[in-house]
Every structure is written in C-alpha cells, then in structure tokens.
Amino acid sequence: MPIAVKIINHSDHPLPAYATALSAGMDLRAQLSAPIVLKSLERTLVPTGLFIELPAGYEAQIRPRSGLAVKQGITCLNTPGTIDADYRGEIKVILINLSAEEQTIANGDRIAQMVVQSVEQVTWEPAESLSVTERNAGGFGHTGKS
C-alpha cells in the first residue's frame, strides 16, 4: 500500500525499508547533527526526519529493536509508540538507556522499527450487564491455579 512520505535532512539517510521480504517493521534512523550520549536511566526524544501521511483506518507503531535492547540496553520508553493517521509532524522516538553504562546514539543509527497496522475505531453501546464467560473477571495470572 503506497503512503505519502517526506524526509528532511536525508542526504545520507535512505527512506525506511523492509530489510527482508516478510519483515513486519521498517527500521527508523536517528537524524542527528551531533551524537546523543545517554547516561544510565536517561531518556531522550530522537528525531528521525520522517513525516508520513497514513490513510484513515491505519496507525504506525514505533517499537524497540531487539538487537539494541540486548546489546546496549536501549529501548523505547513508550512502547509501542502510536503514530495517528492524522499526525503530520516529525516522527520521533523516545529512547531510554536501561543499561548501567553510558550509551551513545549516532546520526544514522537504526534506533527503532515502525510497523503499519490497520486499526478500528469503536462506538460505545452503554449496557447494564455484560455477557458471562469462562474467564469472566479472572485475570492477572488466575489461570493454572488449582
């Protein structure tokens, strides 16, 4: 599905792309004039230079990259981040350094991945009671207990 995209300051940055034939996500790159040094537990908002126009009925999710998480302890704080179909601003990524050491993010680093998905909007039908199910109100680890 083609969607409108604009990328700024992209001289050395390709448009995000699927890395393999069946990849769900496209990696997003940091668009930085200088590296960001993140202390342990520090968070920051990283620009990507990317602006997109999603069709109605779609969202984009910003998700962490597992490699960055396992190697450097860097993840997205608000995962999954939500890009609304009516958002026309720059896509930015909220990263946090959960490692004990300082971590550096450089211009062009692949910092997160974006997954485009269809979404439903719902309307409410106020009800006095809800249908009974096997689970009913059980949750938070209630299954498997004798």
Closer by beta carbon to ligand DUT, 84 or else 101: 84
**Which of residues 53 and 84 has its CB atom nearest to ligand DUT in the complex?**
84
Instruction: Tell whether residue 92 is a contact of ligand DUT (CB under 6 A).
Output: yes
When binding is defined by CB under 6 A, the residue of 30, 46, 52, 62 that contacts ligand DUT is: 62
Among 43, 44, 94, 110, which residue interacts with ligand DUT (rule: CB under 6 A)? 94
Q: Which residues have C-beta within 8 Å of that of residue 71, sequence separation ≥ 6?
A: none
Shortest-Cβ-distance residue relative to ligand DUT: 81
Cβ distance 56 to 119 under 8 Å?
no
Annotated binding site for substrate: 65-67, 78, 82-84
Q: For residues 18 and 24, what is the distance between their CA atoms, to the nearest angstrom?
A: 7
Q: How many other CB atoms are found less than 10 A from the CB of residue 65?
A: 20
CA 50 to centroid of chain Cα atoms? 13
Among residues 46, 49, 77, 53, the alpha carbon closest in space to that of 64 is found at 77
Q: Say if CB 51 and CB 7 are below 8 A apart.
A: yes
Residues 6-45, one symbol each (x = binds ligand DUT by CB under 6 A, - = not), give ----------------------------------------
User: Considering the complex, what minimum distance in angstroms separates the CB of residue 59 from ligand DUT?
Assistant: 8
Give the residue among 131, 108, 117, 138 at the shortest CA–CA distance from 47: 108
The only residue of 30, 38, 46, 83 in contact with ligand DUT, by rule CB under 6 A: 83
| Residue ranges in contact with ligand DUT by CB under 6 A | 62, 78, 81-84, 87, 91-94
